[in-house]
Amino acid sequence: MKNFKTIILSNQEISPNYYRMKILAPGYNKQAKPGQFVMFRVQRSLPPLLRRPFGIFRAGFLPADCDSMPPKEFIEIIYKVVGSGTEIMQGLHHGDPVELLGPLGEGFAVGSPEEEKILVGGGIGLVPLYMLAEKMVETSNVRLLMGGRTRDDIITVTEFERLGVETYVSTEDGSLGEEGLVTQVLERKLDKYPHSTVFACGPMPMIEAVQKICAERGTSLQVSLEALMACGVGACLGCVVKGEGHAEEEPRYLCTCTSGPVFKAEELDWRKAEIKNVKSGGCK
């Protein structure tokens, strides 16, 4: 993990308000683990002042320029335009300089090959699940349940399919896939494949509902959280969530940036309104 200056390779709108950015990122193909994130510095001038955290969607190699040169590494992030920082980002182009700090945080624990895996993604929360799927399809059956408000929120599903992931789409308005919440699909899949492990990322109400379903069934669950953060390295303490056993007398705060962003469900305090350092709009 380090901070370095690099350039944008491409930045494209893939669905209304959703952008996919490819960034030159030496070393990331080897280093970046599923579920990790980067702190992205939009530009050197102000605003925005603070970096923005983004989950890594994918890491890979560019085609080599010529035979004698080693192929260059890149990462891709996907972001939804939600505020001043992402508004500036959507105007960036190929060749624009940016700074990346990362890869940061604790990622997903992949688990044993014989388990069935269910990924639950809500909107932009799908992002950190792709690298995980890439890793898991080598050894396990992987199913993706992708939910969104409308079809505009359903992104990159075909890429999961190309990996060999079984995908199930649901939208709240029924404009794509099944009409309803992704958690309804989850309950059905867990009825059918009760020995699955679940990995979820999305808006907090979705994550809370997934946690409830998994807790009732004793299903193992890992969640990736999004939080407001200033530093990404555990110093500002802005991104904390309450850990299991948290009490006013004996506080147990966990930094989303360094202890997470991926947590095993049992690490967190799920009592109502306890975990709420979360903007709507999915995971980093």
Partner 1 sequence: MIKSDEKMLQPKMAVEIAGIKFKNPVMPASGTFGYGKEYDPYLDLNQLGAIVTKGMSLNPKAGNNTPRICETVSGMLNAIGLQNVGVDAFIKNKMPFLEQFDTPVIVNFFGNTQDEYGEVAARLDDVTGVAALEMNISCPNVKHGGIVFGTDPKAAFSAVSLVRKRTTKPLFVKLTPNVTDIQITARAAEDAGADALSLINTLTGMAVDVKTRKPRLANTIGGLSGPAIRPVAVRLVHQVVQAVQIPVIGIGGISRAMDALEFLIVGAKAVQVGTANFVDPNAMAIIIADLEKFCREEGIADINDLIGTLEI
The candidate with the shortest Cα–Cα distance to 157, out of 185, 117, 186, 130, is 130
Question: Applying CB under 8 A, which of residues 32, 56, 75, 101 lies at the interface with partner 1?
Answer: 101
Q: Binding residue for partner 1 (CB under 8 A) from 10, 187, 233, 243?
A: 233
3-state secondary structure of 20: strand
**β-pair partners for 77:** 21
On whether the CB atoms of residues 20 and 57 are closer than 8 A, the answer is yes
Choosing from 12, 235, 264, 271, the residue that interacts with partner 1 (CB under 8 A) is 235
Of the pair 100, 146, the CB lying nearest partner 1 is at: 100
Tell me the closest approach of the beta carbon of residue 255 to partner 1, in angstroms: 9
* Residue in 228, 245, 264, 266 binding partner 1, rule: CB under 8 A: 228
Q: Find where tokens 């669950």 sit.
A: 221
Contact flag: residue 50 with partner 1 (CB under 8 A)? yes
CA nearest 54: which of 96, 102, 123?
102
Q: Quick one: DSSP state of residue 236?
A: S
Provide the residue type at 284 as one letter: K
Q: The tokens of 18 are what?
A: 């959703």
Which listed range, 16-24, 88-96, 166-174, 230-238, lies at the site for partner 1 (CB under 8 A)?
Answer: 230-238
Closest distance to partner 1 from the beta carbon of 2 (Å): 7
Q: Does 271 bind partner 1 (CB under 8 A)?
A: no
∠ at Cα 169 (164, 172), nearest 5°?
A: 165
CB of 279 to partner 1, least distance (A): 8
Stretch of 57-65, 141-149, 196-204, 221-229 lying at the interface with partner 1 (CB under 8 A): 221-229
Site string for partner 1, 61-100 (x = CB under 8 A): -----------------------xx-------------x-
Closer by beta carbon to partner 1, 42 or else 198? 42
- Measured CA to CA, the distance from residue 202 to residue 184 in angstroms comes to 15
CA atoms within 13 A on the CB side of 282: 28
CA dihedral of residues 144, 147, 151, 155 (deg, nearest 10):
-50
Taking the least distance from each CB to partner 1, the nearer of 92 and 136 is 92
Kindly compute the dihedral angle of the four CA atoms of residues 229, 3, 202, 87, in this order, to the nearest 10 degrees: 80
238 is an interface residue for partner 1 by CB under 8 A: yes
User: Footprint of partner 1 on this chain (CB under 8 A)?
Assistant: 1-3, 41, 46-51, 84-85, 99, 101, 227-231, 233-241, 248, 251, 253, 258, 276-277
